[in-house]
Structure 1
Amino acid sequence: MSDRAGREGAAARSAADALMDRPVEKASLLRRRPELLLSPAVLVLVLAVWHLVVQWFEVSRFVLPPPVDVIQALVRNIQEGRYTDHLLYTVRNSLTGFAAGTILGVLVGGLLAASSIVERVLHPYIVAFQTFPKIALVPMLTIWFGFDAQPKMIIAGILAFFPVMVNAYVGLTSLDVESEELMRSLRSSRLQTFVKLRLPTALPYIFAGLELALVFAILGAVTGEFLGSRQGLGFLIQQFSAQLRTEDIFALLIIFAILGMAVHMLISWLRKKVIYWQG
């Protein structure tokens, strides 16, 4: 009888300890990752300040709609399927231009890093084109290729090219001298040195460029849609602006924010898979 009572008492104590440990585990999780609590709190604070500013200063809904109107417009447009085709059009053009700009950027960056003569010859032209306002090319591209997807892809590719090219060049030339001498002492070929040393050293730089390039590609595609398009998120913003539907424009900004977060998460996931040794 006493053994049974002892077992029951131990079970009760373990259950009580488990209940007490749960808040402790949650508290330790929040101490390790306070952003899980702080990020939603910042969003709630921004929405509250936004709502109070609109109410207190009696701001016109055409100038700054309250958050409730924006959320209602977002839900309404999603239910009506208004975003789907335009979002797919923008994402397709952005990804196509991003892929082309990335491939060309890595190739040019690698070529500049491999040959000092090529770097000295092409460097003035690259600097000149990099400082050139690429957005000014959009009207000319529209004249050449019309209002179809090609101008958006080209401007997206141009904007994606430079971050990747610069970061690839910096990464491929940022070698540890001692490591390079070690590879030479081991009589490694140029291909082995590239695969074992240069490429792993350059990958963090390249992925930093990829994250910027993908954002720039989206901005380039949307800018192209602003200046001449029959479809896309930029075209949709123009429609809402002409109709003075400010709440729908703010709802589209939320779509852009979600798209930007998705892009960041995608690149971060790829970085962890490819550069696995960084943890």
Structure 2
Amino acid sequence: MRPLKTKRRLIAKRPRVDLRERPELLLVPAVFVIVVLAWEFAVPAFGIDDYVLPRPSQILDALRTQLADPLFWGHLRVTVLESLYGFLLGVGAALVLGTAISQVRLIERTFMPYVVAFQTVPKVALAPLFVVWFGFGMTSKVVMAAVISFFPMLVNVIEGLRSADADRIQMLTVFGAGPFQIFRMVRLPSALPFIFAGLDIGIVFSILGAVVGEFIGAKEGLGYLLLQTNYNFDIAGMFAVLVVLSVLGLIAHSVVRFAQRRVTFWAEENRVMGA
């Protein structure tokens, strides 16, 4: 009987141990509830008009209305595809160019000044040009998403490949390993945490790029829907679309983080052991 009671006590104590080790599990929803409740009651208390700042309950009603509309899902699908295609294009280009720059000094000295100069140009200023060059369809938004997600990924690829342990590289060289073997066995594993950091930033930026492109010129997408709700002075509807975009970004971030924990599990273990 005594071991059974001890086991029950351990099971009952598990949630408390989890909360002590990860207080954010309680703090994150608590902060959300507090902010929403304060927002809900502060709007009428301060006499703020609903068309200036709608209450969360009104935003929820607008969100329910949009989710029940098949056209909304069409806009969501377009933005997701634009973001995904742009993300893949930008990441692919950054991986190729970043690998070349990190391995060949002549390529770095030749192309890096142009890359940095291009990055300093405001991307919003490029959006009208992309619409002129690629039209009002999906292509211009894909290019916009790719351009915005390209540079963060490029920087992380270069820094990651250069972060490889020089002693390990020298040891493999002594044992006769070739450049490709060194890249596969040392440089690439060392760069994976940096690469996933770039992926995490790039996937969120790709959504931003797609929406910015839709602002400039589009016939569908969540950015286009934001403009429509703005023209109709549907402020609650605008907030509802913003909520969907926020959820979309959180989902994309969570997917990348999940993949990172699966692929670079040794980095997570070393970080926990060193904490």
TM-score, normalised to structure 1, is 0.91
**Higher mean displacement: 190-199 or 179-188:** 179-188
1:197 aligns with 2:205: no
1:256 aligns with 2:215: no
Relative distance call for 1:251 and 1:194 in structure 2 (3 A) is: same
Shift of 1:81: 3.0
Residue 206 of structure 1 is aligned with which of 190, 195, 211? 195
Task: Summarize deviations over 1:61-87 as a string: whole Å, max 9, x none.
Answer: 011001110111111211223421111
1:99 aligns with 2:88: yes
Distance 1:126 1:42 in 2: 41
Q: Provide the residue aligned with 1:56 in structure 2.
A: 45
**Higher mean displacement: 87-96 or 181-190:** 181-190
**Higher mean displacement: 78-87 or 62-71:** 78-87
Task: Summarize deviations over 1:19-63 as a string: whole Å, max 9, x none.
Answer: 655542221221122222111101001101111220211100011
Residue 161 of structure 1 is aligned with which of 150, 154, 158? 150
Shift of 1:260: 1.0
1:110 aligns with 2:99: yes
Distance 2:241 2:178 in 1: 53
Task: Summarize deviations over 1:165-198 as a string: whole Å, max 9, x none.
Answer: 1111111112222122111121111111000001
Aligned letter for 1:77? Answer: Q
Task: Name the SS of the counterpart of 1:83 in structure 2.
Answer: helix
Aligned letter for 1:31? Answer: R
CA RMSD in angstroms comes to 1.6
| Structure 2 unaligned spans of 5+ | 269-275
Fraction of identical pairs, as percent: 37
| Structure 1 unaligned spans of 5+ | 1-9
Task: Summarize deviations over 1:124-143 as a string: whole Å, max 9, x none.
Answer: 11111011112211111111
Distance 2:80 2:183 in 1: 34
Distance 1:186 1:38 in 2: 52
Task: Summarize deviations over 1:77-104 as a string: whole Å, max 9, x none.
Answer: 1122342111110010111011011110
Shift of 1:17: 5.9
Residue 217 of structure 2 is aligned with which of 216, 228, 246? 228
1:271 aligns with 2:260: yes
Relative distance call for 1:19 and 1:110 in structure 2 (3 A) is: closer
**Higher mean displacement: 13-22 or 221-230:** 13-22
Distance 2:76 2:36 in 1: 25
Residue 46 of structure 1 is aligned with which of 35, 53, 59? 35
1:62-73 matched pairs, under 5 angstroms: 62-73=51-62
